[in-house]
A and B are shown apart, each in its own frame.
Chain A
Amino acid sequence: MEQNWYRLDNAAVLYSALKKEKYAPVYRFSAVMAEPVDPAALQRAVDRSLPRFPSFRVRIRKGAFWCYFEPNRKPGPFVRPDVSNPCQPIRDREENDWLIRFYYYECRISLEAFHAISDGSGALSFFRTVLAEYLRERGIDVPPDPLLLDAAQPPEPEELEDAYGRYAGKRTLRGSLQKTAYANTSPREPFYTLNVTMGLMSAAAVKTRAKEYGATLTEYLTAVLLLSLLEKQRAERPPREKPVALAIPVNLRSWFPSQTLRNFLLTLRLSIDPTLGEYALEDLIRFVHHFMGLSLNRPEMRASITKNVAFTQNRLLRAVPLFLKMPILSFSYWLVAVRPYTATFTNPGVFRTPASMEPHIRRMEVILGQATRPAPHCAAISYGDTLEVTFAGTGTSSETERRFFTRLVREGIPVKIISNREEAT
């Protein structure tokens, strides 16, 4: 029997507190197909897939003390033509309360999701099933595969679990407030504008270059981004340089086995102090490589999970009514998740599909939605040999992405740029 309501996991609690009239943490995954999209087939695919994913078929409601999810039985979500300004806020009582959206444009199919319902890994599982169903609707034979969740099967209870609660231990990770990081902001665009710049390149070429430095693809891209931000801050000649810190979400499923399709991630803070001197790319790659190796260990990650869960289970906080709790959570988010970071860099990795789907998908794209301030976030995803890196933000400046992509070009990696910026079209 379908659950009547779901408790929010601790990441969702924070994301729901941020949801306002003009802002909501919304991200987007897109698949660029080999042929133009058939909207009717896509709608049928969405309708067929959605019952298999009850955690995406929800709406968010406000209780006296906490928000909660309940099944959304309203019509939808309906696929619609894509827009130039993606990742718009999700508002109360609009769009039939759906927290996911589907768009199509030429060959591109896009899924947008409110971060409170799922992280990138869960959303990609859902998207993979929708794409498989879409191809089946188009008459392409996509046999069942372990990579795909069968839309005809009932959902597994484990897919709905709050994995944070399951793995939270007793000892929390002690830590003090982190230093304020370089904000990397620029004048804000008019409301609803999200400038998106994508760089398309060969995944093999980047991997080869990264290997030459003894690093993985993610470590290499992280170091290039750090260098771009360090150089940008230095070029701005501030009176005192601030640390450049990246938020790097880590998919916890690799360390703590879980089938959950809800949020199950942790954010690493990778910080460089520019006052210590000039960093070369090699220094940064070495730093990122060892930092990742040191930070990604089960006991520490478990202690971090416990700390986050303990925050939402704090007795004092639990007793505070929701209308008072929201500003407290919102301020906490700014204090611990906005102020100490310059940008977010996420790489969900390689999007894997069954071999039968591969000829029909040209590439994958990811957009990390808008930040709470006008600064770009960076995200990357690979499919086949195409690595796609996106910078998206509500600021007018394109300097961060310019420095990042031109650095890659100087490293000998050919990059193709596409953008939704009005001046580019």
Chain B
Amino acid sequence: MSYCVNCGVELDATAACCPLCHTPVYNPAQPVDRDSPPPFPTQRGEVPPASRRELAVLISAMLGSVAVCCGLLNLVLRTSHIWSLYVIGAAGMLWVFLAPPLLWRRLPLPLAAVLDAAAVGLYVLLIAWEVGGLDWYLQLALPIVALFALTLLALSLLLGNGRRSILSSIALVIGFTGAFLAGLELLSDLYLDGVWRPSWSLVVLIVAVALEIPLVVVRRVPGLREEVRRRFHM
């Protein structure tokens, strides 16, 4: 065994220097044991995480530079349409999708849903304005975006920031997907034909109901629920 000549404490056989005063170990009778495992692991557990704020700045810079470059390029490559508006709008929409959750760590899900839907609505409005199609925007695109936003909002409120069980969450997602697709067909039928003729959305709804029923049964029966949790490691 080696002792620190400075502190007088006994040192571990694997220690190359005294942890207290950093005096190197020099013991010709017992060289430092470099083969045995040291008393503590040497692998670090985690690397410092990328700062979310820095990541948000990086994303903002990337999207901003794409938007500015395309805008400048459009001044040179002129066409009948202002094509760069699509890119600038898409960059803005992506920024709304990505940046707020990074800058605001606990962004409430309903607020995120509203922000995202507003971003999509504005982007489609930009396209509609650019191609002169405000009619289809107001009668079809805006209602679809609004329906999507409402579905997302209701779903996020019901899911309650992940407080529901996985089974309930899956059942809710399936149910709302079916309802949204039925609404989508209703809106498109009304815009195109003026009357609602449900067809493909009925198939989707029936499939959704067929999936919902066993999920609800499993959710309601404690024995089945525990069995599913155990088997799927939920």
Residues of B within 8 A of A84 (CB): 40-45
A144-152, A331-339, A399-407: which lies at the interface: A399-407
For the complex formed, measure the closest distance between the CB of A72 and the CB atoms of chain B, giving whole angstroms: 12
Q: A402-B21, A414-B10 are in contact. List 4 more A-B contacts (CB 8 A).
A: A83-B45, A84-B41, A401-B20, A425-B42
Q: CB distance A415 to B9 under 8 Å?
A: yes
Q: CB distance A190 to B45 under 8 Å?
A: no
Q: Does A287 contact B (CB under 8 A)?
A: no
Q: A residues bordering B, Cβ < 8 Å?
A: 21, 61-62, 73, 75, 81-86, 88, 92, 105-106, 190-192, 196-199, 398, 401-402, 405-406, 409-410, 414-421, 423-425
Tell me whether chain B's interface is mostly helix, strand or loop, or mixed. Answer: loop
Residues of A within 8 A of B44 (CB): 83-85, 192
Q: Does B12 contact A (CB under 8 A)?
A: yes
Residues of A within 8 A of B38 (CB): 425
Contacts A83-B43, A417-B11; A406 near B48 (Cβ below 8 A): no
**How many A-B contacts if CB must be within 8 Å?**
110
Q: CB distance B40 to A192 under 8 Å?
A: no
Set A86, A191, A410, A421: member contacting B48, Cβ < 8 A? A191
Residues of A within 8 A of B18 (CB): 417, 424
Q: CB distance B8 to A424 under 8 Å?
A: no
Q: CB distance A406 to B9 under 8 Å?
A: yes
| Chain B interfacial residues counted at CB < 8 A | 36
What are 27 A-B interface contacts by the 8 Å CB criterion?
A73-B234, A83-B44, A92-B106, A105-B41, A190-B48, A191-B48, A192-B45, A197-B19, A197-B20, A398-B19, A398-B21, A402-B21, A409-B7, A410-B8, A417-B12, A417-B19, A417-B20, A418-B15, A418-B19, A419-B39, A420-B39, A423-B16, A423-B22, A424-B17, A424-B18, A425-B16, A425-B42
- Please measure, in the bound complex, the distance between the C-alpha atom of A192 and the C-alpha atom of B46, giving whole angstroms: 8
- Please measure, in the bound complex, the distance between the C-alpha atom of A85 and the C-alpha atom of B38, giving whole angstroms: 14
For the complex formed, measure the closest distance between the CB of A322 and the CB atoms of chain B, giving whole angstroms: 11
- Please measure, in the bound complex, the distance between the C-alpha atom of A160 and the C-alpha atom of B203, giving whole angstroms: 51
Q: CB distance B7 to A402 under 8 Å?
A: yes
- Please measure, in the bound complex, the distance between the C-alpha atom of A220 and the C-alpha atom of B42, giving whole angstroms: 34
Instruction: Give the residue name and chain of the B residue nearest to A416 (CB).
Output: B10
Residues of A within 8 A of B229 (CB): 73
For the complex formed, measure the closest distance between the CB of A359 and the CB atoms of chain B, giving whole angstroms: 21
Q: Does B28 contact A (CB under 8 A)?
A: no
Residues of B within 8 A of A425 (CB): 14-16, 38, 40, 42
Q: Does B233 contact A (CB under 8 A)?
A: yes
Q: CB distance A409 to B17 under 8 Å?
A: no
- Please measure, in the bound complex, the distance between the C-alpha atom of A417 and the C-alpha atom of B8, giving whole angstroms: 10
For the complex formed, measure the closest distance between the CB of A85 and the CB atoms of chain B, giving whole angstroms: 5
Residues of A within 8 A of B16 (CB): 423-425
Q: Does B37 contact A (CB under 8 A)?
A: yes
Instruction: Give the residue name and chain of the A residue nearest to B37 (CB).
Output: A106
